Structure 1
Amino acid sequence: MLNLEWFRTFKVIYEAGTLSAAAQALFISQPGVSLHLSSLESYTGYRLFDRDTRKMLATEKGTILYNFIIEHMNKLEEAENIFHRKCKLEKPTVSIGMSMEVFQYMLESHVSALPFNLITRFGDHPQMLQELNNGTLDLILTPQKGTQHNLDYTPFTKERTILICGGKTDTRELEELLLQDNRNAVKEWLSTQIWYTTAADMGHLKRFWSACFNALPGFRPNYVVPYYGSILRCLSNNRGFAVVPDFLCRQEILDNVIKLVWEGSPPVVDTLYFGKRKSNAYPEEIKQLETILSKNWPVYDDNVLV
């Protein structure tokens, strides 16, 4: 059956010129806009837009359809405004991208007090950069800066990557090799151990290995789990190794359920950035999120790990 919302979406795409701009105007996701358009094209049997890299260009059939429905759509929108029950202004909705752990540690406890709606998305950094660029996300936390000219990056803290192990792991031989600074022997010994990593991101392990041994890991991790929090729970009072951001495991190290094995040499330190579009609709809301995250993030100190 024909859905009248398809016509509303079509009209906004025609006038806004891009799917991301239409999504913002309609307060729906960009995939939702694409679904409405593809459904309408399937229903009519015509391609309504030519997809350009920067703009949606109406085809001849698209222009005919727009001219045919525009007067009726304007009348319906007028009726909607007249007869809609008046209420307080709707809250703005801000979309933020970050890792699951950052959300749990730094933001989760503050969500219920936010004076605006929040959508949180988890993904890898390249994906989040792309979604920020196309308007799906309004703010991201990332150690990677993209090359898009419409994005702005503000450094707010640093993240150190360290080698940890379960509390019951015997590290006496490794500690002796580290004292001798025998890198090849350290690399070979570590390569034979039990390793944990996450499904979404092996970047920390690769950067740590490259910095310390000038090579990529030559082994396959034994256990690939969803999140760093899963790694910490698996390692607690157990055996095995992992490379993780230091802020995630400070409490577990203090509780002696996980051991800090090596901070790396040289230390592996990433600058974390707030990424956002230079022109966005929610500057005050984004600033509030940045303030919350900055205040809750542990203060970085080059000389202090825990």
Structure 2
Amino acid sequence: MINLEWFRTFKVIYEAGTLSAAAQALFISQPGVSLHLSSLESYAGHRLFDRDTRKMVATERGTMLYNFIIDHMNKLEEAEHNLHRKSKVEKPTVSIGMSTGIFQYMLEAHISELPFNLVTRFGDYPQMLQELNNGTLDLILTPQKGTQHNLDYKPFAKERFVLICGNQTDTTEFDELLLKGDRPALKEWLSVQNWYTTASDQEHLNRFWSASFDTLPSFRPKYVLPSLGSILRCMATGKGFAVVPDFLCCNEIAGNSIKVAWEGSPPVEDTLYFGKRKNTAYAEEIKFLEDILAKNWPKCPELLT
């Protein structure tokens, strides 16, 4: 079925003259504008614009289509405006992408404070970058920056990945090996311990292990749990090891339910960025979210002290 948004995009391209100007007016990415236009042209079976280096020039069929739809589109936009104005619920909806850990620890408790609607999405960072670029997401928290020219990144925090263990775990031998600096023996000892991980965050363990021992782990974790929060809760009453971001375990360390066995050498850390489109209809709402997350980001003390 034809998508009415294709007609809206077509109308704006016709009036703006370029794909970039249309994208700016519609608050979506230029690839998104191109996708709408190509979909409409494919449905119509004809080119609607001739692509010039400086301007989109409507073909004869494009001009005919514009003249046919313009009155209808203007009436629909007027109806949309009146409906929105009279609606009892005028809250905008902002879509945000982040890791489940950041959401659970930094944002979940503040949802009721938001003066707008919120849609959260969890996934891998390349996918979130793509969805931010095409307009599906409005804000992402990411350690990875894309190359899309219409996206903007602002650093706001650092996360360090640390080796933690349950408070009942005997680390006497590990501490002695660490004091000696015997990396081969450390790797051997750790390889036979009980390990926790999540299906989506095995990368944390791989990065830490590779930095510390110059290879990937050769063992399979014994416990694969649904989230990092689950790992912390299980380790609080048990034994074993896991690699997690430091900001997630500050409270547990302060409460002595888990302890940091090693910060790694060299340390593994990321800079986290707020990623958003340079042109957005939700600048005020995004700033509200950024302030909440920055304010509630934990100021962890030196974890090994």
TM-score relative to the length of structure 1: 0.78
CA contact (8 A) 2:247 2:300 kept: no
CA contact (8 A) 1:124 1:201 kept: no
SS in 2 for 1:141: strand
2:104 alignment partner in structure 1: 104
Matched, 1:229 2:229: yes
Distance 1:85 1:281 in 2: 17
SS in 2 for 1:177: helix
| Letter matched to residue 199 of structure 2 | A
CA gap of 1:80–1:233, structure 2 versus 1, over 3 A, is closer
> Mean Cα displacement is larger for which, 67-76 or 262-271?
67-76
1:267 alignment partner in structure 2: 267
Matched, 1:135 2:135: yes
SS in 1 for 2:115: coil
2:188 alignment partner in structure 1: 188
Please give the residue correspondences for 1:46-61 in structure 2 after superposition, counting only pairs within 5 Å: none
Matched, 1:175 2:171: no
2:6 alignment partner in structure 1: 10
| Letter matched to residue 181 of structure 1 | G
CA contact (8 A) 1:195 1:240 kept: yes
Q: Where in structure 1 do 4 or more consecutive aligned residues deviate above 3 Å?
A: 15-18, 24-27, 44-50, 57-85, 303-306
Percent of aligned pairs sharing the same letter: 65
Give structure 2 stretches of 5+ with no counterpart. 14-18, 52-56
CA contact (8 A) 1:125 1:144 kept: yes
Distance 2:62 2:203 in 1: 45
Q: How far off its partner does 1:82 sit? A: 5.9
Distance 1:104 1:265 in 2: 29
Give structure 1 stretches of 5+ with no counterpart. none
| Aligned Cα root-mean-square deviation (Å) | 3.8
**Number of equivalenced pairs:** 290
Q: How far off its partner does 1:222 sit? A: 2.3
1:291 alignment partner in structure 2: 291
Please give the residue correspondences for 1:33-182 in structure 2 after superposition, counting only pairs within 5 Å: 68-78=68-78, 86-87=86-87, 90-182=90-182
CA contact (8 A) 1:246 1:305 kept: no
CA contact (8 A) 1:46 1:61 kept: no
